[in-house]
Structure 1
């Protein structure tokens, strides 16, 4: 009797715990934007720069424990440079990145990623295809999303010239020498759910 009662208590406790942490079918898991980070890194012939951008909103769509979709909006007006100190070109570079030469944030204050296809690679990782919109231009991108409990991470390489960001690109301008900026930049996204 004691053994049966103990077994029932064990099943009830762990059954409720599993149910509480398992998303229901079709659940949208809102991203905690204040606890999430989006970092960028851009490359030039003479080095690189890196910084961050604030996530404005986002959610992942779940079917049970499986990722099925998602959508994210980034506040492009929040772009910052983290590898330079104030007064050492930081403000100038941030202003240039916000200008029409790069992201044109006055007319395009947000960028957006909408998942269009999600394929499971294993228990925690997914190959995701989505539509990325930057400067009002939408192009398909592919990335890998890894999920662990209440966190999700992704790294994506983006060709800026596909979004009409051609400033300093050796693909479009000759004789840039060591002032050339590479077309690809990286985004690393760490989401808190």
Structure 2
């Protein structure tokens, strides 16, 4: 019986110590930003999108995980104004693009992290957009209570077909490139 108590105590301490060393740092959604750029043959558009929630998980001083939810209904074009802005914002929210009536959020969950040194981590994560999950890779730069990353997303992998030469031929100067860029700045 004494051995059983000793084993139970050892397991409790081992699991308690390992979970105690992990620290979840919630992001400040008001101060954290996502800026997007989408390009087409004849130019580009840019804007913002907001976090709903998110956290980085640390073990000691090292990043050990991360989970984020983005409010897709917050898509906002910043390079246009007035009627053109309203049209593009509406189109991005429509089924042609992100279908925000049905898919109100997108998520990102870290699955693999490699410490590259000097606060830089190579991250592989599962990105879910429109209910489709695909892996993405990017570098995460952490300094103090801030982190930054540039994430390149291939929209064709998430069945976002509008103006994509991956799905349609002969688009000419109406082609919208499949890859778009997200510049992420986290404060926690």
Fold match by TM threshold 0.5: yes
Q: Partner of 1:179 in structure 2?
A: 174
| TM-score when normalising by structure 1 | 0.86
In structure 2, what is the equivalent of residue 71 of structure 1?
67
The separation in 1 between residues aligned to 2:137 and 2:123, in whole angstroms, is: 6
Secondary structure of residue in 1 paired with 2:185: strand
Residue 87 of structure 2, aligned match among 92, 97, 112 = 92
Task: State the match for 2:149 in structure 1.
Answer: 154
For 2:121, the equivalent position in structure 1 comes to 126
Name the structure 1 match of 2:41.
Answer: 45
Give distance in 1, aligned partners of 2:168 and 2:118. Answer: 45
1:123 Cα deviation (Å)?
2.4
Q: Which runs of 5+ in 2 are unaligned?
A: 1-19
Residues 105-136 of structure 1: per-residue CA shift (max 9 Å, x gap)? 00000000000011100121000001000000
SS at match of 2:36: strand
Question: How far apart are the structure 1 equivalents of 2:153 and 2:129?
Answer: 11
List gaps (5 residues or longer) in structure 1.
1-23
Match of 2:27 among 16, 28, 31: 31
| Residue 3 of structure 2: aligned partner | none
Q: Note the C-alpha offset of 1:36.
A: 0.5
Return the TM-score normalized by structure 2: 0.88
1:145 corresponds to 2:147 = no
* 2:95 paired with 1:103: no
Q: How many angstroms apart in 2 are the aligned matches of 1:63 and 1:123?
A: 16
TM-fit CA distance, 1:174 = 1.2
4+ residue runs of structure 1 moved beyond 3 angstroms? Answer: none
